[in-house]
Amino acid sequence: REMELDLRLAIRDGGFELYFQPLYNLRDDCLQGFEALIRWPHPRRGMISPAEFIPLAEETGLIVQIGEWVLREACRIATRWPENLTVAVNISPRQFAAPGLSSTILQALGQSGLAPNRLELEITESVFIANIEKTLSALHGLRDLGVKIALDDFGTGYSSLSYLRSFPFDKVKIDRSFVRDLTEEGNAHAVIRAITTLAEALGMATLAEGVELPEQCEILRREGCQFIQGYLLSEPVEEHRLAGLIGDYA
């Protein structure tokens, strides 16, 4: 397929870019760090969204090489930020299952000099579908490297609660579908409260994704959610625009 060939060329020629979106701490009103989000400026087709090419990269296994680039680049860029800021990197299920993820992470940390606790890995519930025992031992292995682990898109998968109980995630990222409906009138805030209460009881932080309105932010604060992310703060931006955001939110 043409797109697959183009993906291989982009891997070979360094044809991807990382964008960054701020993660904001509502408890102390400080910037926590940024999530790295890959972009593919295609020579003929313009900017291609990861929603379009990550599935193909997963199918073909090319995600492993792309993911290595993302990890290296994200760690390298994060070393230029103030030392209290973290970088979050998405790890797709195939990348998680492939051998060598922890050595890739160690390499990215070693080459950049980034402290392990400044790197946060985002995984989705779908990694648990494979083999729960293996998944848990892989997660503990990653945790032993000193990196943080977040559960991404929480609430969209199957029996989320059993996964929450089986591994001590540092953070649970509440899917934006729960945030979209958040108004004073509806009952969506009750779901947020239930999730933050549960996460807190299990010793995990919560972040709400897709926060677009000040009203949503205030409800989230009130319902005990610690972190937010979304267009209210900023869309994902290029590295050269981060200094401005760091200044605004520091």
By CB under 6 A, name the binding residues for ligand G: 21, 37-38, 49-51, 54, 70, 90, 92, 152-153, 176, 209-212, 230-231, 236
Exactly one of 120, 122, 125, 223 binds Mn ion (CB under 5 A); that residue is: 122
Stretch 202-221 residues interacting with Na ion (CB under 5 A): 209
Token pair in block for residue 93: 């299920």
Q: Does 152 bind Na ion (CB under 5 A)?
A: yes
* CA dihedral of 176, 92, 70, 59, whole degrees rounded to 10: -120
Give least dist CB 69 to ligand G, A.
Answer: 9
Nearer to ligand G, 40 or 167 (CB): 40
Instruction: Tell me the backbone φ, ψ of residue 22, rounded to 5 degrees.
Output: -65, 145
Exactly one of 68, 120, 152, 223 binds Mn ion (CB under 5 A); that residue is: 152
Q: Which residue is nearest to ligand G (CB)?
A: 230
- Which long-range contacts link 228-231 to residues 24+ away (Cβ below 8 Å)? 228/23, 228/24, 228/26, 229/21, 229/22, 229/23, 229/24, 229/35, 229/173, 230/176, 230/179
Give least dist CB 245 to ligand G, A.
Answer: 14
Residue 234 touches which member of Mn ion, Na ion, ligand G, none, C-beta under 5-8 Å by kind: none
Nearer to Na ion, 6 or 152 (CB): 152
Q: How far apart are CA 139 and CA 133, in angstroms?
A: 10
Beta bridge partners of 123: 151
Amino acid identity, residue 195? I
